[in-house]
């Protein structure tokens, strides 16, 4: 899921962008703003992945706004003027949409951004996971667990059972929420009692994740996030 905000001083243009965002399943709209100054205050307190930013705005233009950010999210500029295109790419804009914007053009731009996110996250995860591990206390011993060996984690009251691909499960006195805080992004909680390694999923059957003969249910509370993961990686 790519979180995003929209910024445009024209109400109709802002409404159109918001309606387009709502149609794209992998985009999650956080907020919309009629000025870059209001958006600046929001970004000082919140983090997003992507911004749709109009260039021509009073007080602070979209270009000035992006340049003012120390670590800006990815940007797709929207404007009625083609001459800003080169300047937009100078600030490493993900794309540039010329008004009036059709949904087809918007979707193409969003897909390009999604691909960029996927490639960056894939490279980042592959460089991290091989070196990632945790120590847990189990049966009076401290045990090292390589994160890429974990298949799923099962909550059992005050304990968790960590299921591994190469050895028997390990029991540890930990809460599910505490474990989840220490895991990288390729882990997802799908049920009050289950956390799964998304990289280990081979089969999904009727919203149940199948590991050998074990069927892990996806509860209603986590169903939307899991469905987003499936949709974003579905070959059509």
The predicted pLDDT at position 91 comes to 66
| Domain boundary residue, one of 101, 127, 153 | 127
Rounded to an integer, what distance in angstroms lies between the CA atom of residue 215 and that of residue 208?
6
Whether residue 84 sits in one domain with residue 36: yes
222 and 105 within one domain? no
Report pLDDT digits (tens) over 118-134.
Answer: 766 654 444 444 458 88
pTM higher than 0.75:
no
Q: Indicate if 110 and 69 belong to the same structural domain.
A: yes
Show the low-confidence residues of the chain (pLDDT under 70): 82-91, 119-131, 236
Q: Are residues 37 and 137 in the same domain?
A: no
User: Do 91 and 128 touch, CB atoms closer than 8 A?
Assistant: no
**CATH no. for residue 221?**
2.40.50.1020
The reported pLDDT for the residue numbered 121 is 61
Claim to verify: residue 95 and residue 156 sit in the same structural domain: no
3-state SS class at 10: coil
């Amino acid at each position: 899921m790519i979180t995003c905000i929209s910024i445009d001083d024209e109400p109709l243009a802002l409404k159109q962008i918001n309606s387009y965002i709502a149609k794209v399943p992998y985009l999650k709209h956080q907020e919309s703003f009629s000025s870059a100054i209001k958006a600046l205050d929001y970004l000082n307190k919140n983090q997003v992945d992507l911004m749709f930013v109009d260039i021509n705005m009073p007080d602070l233009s979209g270009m000035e706004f992006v340049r003012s950010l120390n670590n800006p999210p990815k940007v797709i500029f929207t404007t009625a003027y083609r001459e800003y295109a080169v300047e937009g790419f100078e600030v490493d804009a993900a794309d540039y949409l010329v008004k009036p914007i059709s949904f087809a053009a918007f979707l193409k731009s969003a897909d390009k951004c999604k691909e960029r996110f996927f490639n960056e996250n894939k490279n980042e995860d592959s460089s991290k996971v091989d070196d990632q591990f945790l120590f847990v206390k189990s049966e009076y011993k401290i045990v090292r667990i390589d994160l890429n060996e974990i298949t799923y984690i099962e909550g059992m009251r005050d304990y968790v059972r960590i299921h591994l691909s190469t050895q028997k499960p390990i029991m540890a006195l930990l809460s599910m929420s505490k474990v989840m805080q220490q895991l990288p992004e390729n882990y997802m909680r799908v049920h009050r009692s289950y956390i799964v390694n998304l990289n280990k999923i081979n089969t999904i059957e009727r919203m149940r994740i199948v590991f050998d003969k074990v069927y892990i249910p996806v509860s209603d509370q986590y169903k939307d996030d899991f469905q987003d993961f499936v949709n974003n990686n579905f070959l059509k």
